[in-house]
């Protein structure tokens, strides 16, 4: 008597090059949607080290004067804006493709502890914004004795 297998476990093995499997993997992989080609994007890394949060934000193509940072307690917001650049064309030439983009992008996130906004440092070099956000000294919890 033979048995029929309805489910093929090999479909989920990573080393196979099955087209159906690769389609399934692409379907299940988190996707990025770029609604406008070339739109300004900001990628952020946040680490907790030595009593502070270190933030590295990739914001290529933006001038440092067009970046704004706001801190409110444990909330950090980074805004960036690019200005439109006019393409100059040579006499008789025509634009074949333009991927330059102008507009703004904003990222906001919270950290676990309030930030001491009086000691924050910010540097912008080669399209990377680096923030050092010292943690605010938290008031020690005082135990109240009941009489």
Higher local confidence (pLDDT), 82 or 67:
67
Full-model pTM: 0.62
Tell whether the model's pLDDT for residue 140 goes beyond 60: yes
| pLDDT at 47 > cutoff 50 | yes
Q: Where are the domains of the chain?
A: 36-85+99-136
Q: What is the pLDDT of residue 89?
A: 61
* Length of the chain as a residue count: 147
Q: What strands lie across the sheet with 103-110, from one edge to the other? A: 67-72, 75-82, 103-110
Fold (topology level) of 36-85+99-136: Immunoglobulin-like (2.60.40)
Is residue 38 within 8 Å of residue 99, measured between CB atoms? yes
Q: What is the pLDDT of residue 41?
A: 78
């Amino acid at each position: 008597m033979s048995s029929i297998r309805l489910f093929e476990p090999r479909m989920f093995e990573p080393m196979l090059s099955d087209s159906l499997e690769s389609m399934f993997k692409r379907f299940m992989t988190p996707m990025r949607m770029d609604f406008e080609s070339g739109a300004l994007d900001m990628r952020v890394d946040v680490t907790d080290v030595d009593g502070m949060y270190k933030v590295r934000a990739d914001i290529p193509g933006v001038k440092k004067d067009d970046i704004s940072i706001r801190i409110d307690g444990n909330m950090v917001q980074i805004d960036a804006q690019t200005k439109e650049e006019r393409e100059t064309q040579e006499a008789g030439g025509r634009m074949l493709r333009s991927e330059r983009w102008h507009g703004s992008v904003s990222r906001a996130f919270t950290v676990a502890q309030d930030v001491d906004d009086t000691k924050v440092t910010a540097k912008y070099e080669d399209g990377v914004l680096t923030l050092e956000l010292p943690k605010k000294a938290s008031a020690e919890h005082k135990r109240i004795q009941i009489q």
